[in-house]
Amino acid sequence: MHTHIENTPPGPRAQADRSAITGWGADLDHANRPAYPMERTPPRLHNLHWDQPSPQAANVEVLVSTERPGITPVFGTTLPPRGLSGSLRRLAFKASENDLRRWMLLLLADRIDVVEGLLQDLARGHVPNVLGEMGIAAEWRHNRRALVGKLLLLAALATAAALIAKTFRDDAPLRRLPHRNAQLR
C-alpha cells in the first residue's frame, strides 16, 4: 500500500538514538504506558428506548443552516434574532457555510448587536461602562505599551478623519449651474 515509504531508505534522523528522549516510544509498548489499563473504548449504549433523543421545543425563532436538513435536537435560545442584526443573521443563514459572505455578515451582525445592546441599555436609563467593559484598566495595568500604541493610532485616525472632513468642507464653493433658459456665452 505505502510502497513509496517502504522503498525509501531511512535518513540520518531515523538512525538516531532515541532512547535519550524522555517518553519516546511510549505508545509502542503498552507496558510502558501507565494509563493504558484505564484507556478503553467507552461502552456503547445498548437497550435504549429511543433511536434519537426527543427534540427540544422551539419557542423562539431558530436559524437553520442550508446544509443540514432540519433543526438539531438541542439548540441555544438565549439570543433569538432581533432587529437589524437579526435581519443580517437571517440573510447570512440563506448562504452556504463555505461562503465567505455568510461569515462576514455574521460578524457584522455581532457588531451591530453590540450597538443595539448599548442603545437598549440607554433606552432603559442604564449608562453602560464601555471603557470598563473593554478592559481598559486591566490593559493599562498589564499591557501599558500596547494600550498607548492603540490610543496613539486611534488619535491619528481621528485627526486624519477630521482633516479630510475639513478639506471637503473648505473646498471651493459650489458653482451654480446656469439656468436652462439663460443664454450660453
Task: Give 19-72 pLDDT, tens digit per residue.
Answer: 777 777 666 777 666 666 666 677 777 777 777 778 888 888 988 888 887 888
Burial 33-69 (b: 16+ CB within 10 A, else e): eeeeeeeeeeeeeeeeeeeeeeeeeeeeeeeeeeeee
Distance, CA of 185 to CA of 183 (rounded, Å): 6
Nearest CA to 91 out of 112, 60, 122, 120 is that of 112
Sketch the domain layout of the chain as residue ranges. Answer: 60-68+79-128, 129-167
Q: For residue 92, what pLDDT band results from cuts at 50, 70 and 90?
A: very high
pLDDT value for 34 = 67
> Which contacts qualify for 165-168: CB closer than 8 Å, 24 or more apart?
none
Cα 165 to Cα 111, 147, 173, distances in angstroms: 25, 27, 15
Distance, CA of 130 to CA of 117 (rounded, Å): 12
pLDDT value for 16 = 64
Distance, CA of 28 to CA of 159 (rounded, Å): 64
Determine contact, residues 66/94, Cβ cutoff 8 Å.
yes
The residue type found at 29 is D
Q: For residue 10, what pLDDT band results from cuts at 50, 70 and 90?
A: low
Q: How many residues does the chain have?
A: 185
Distance, CA of 35 to CA of 19 (rounded, Å): 21
Distance, CA of 106 to CA of 43 (rounded, Å): 39
List alpha helices for 37-135, DSSP H: 83-92, 100-123, 130-133
For residue 106, pLDDT beyond 60: yes
Q: For residue 113, what pLDDT band results from cuts at 50, 70 and 90?
A: very high
Compute the Cα dihedral for 135, 137, 138, 144 and give only its sign: positive
Query: Among 32-36, 48-52, 124-128, 144-148, where is mean pLDDT lowest?
Result: 32-36
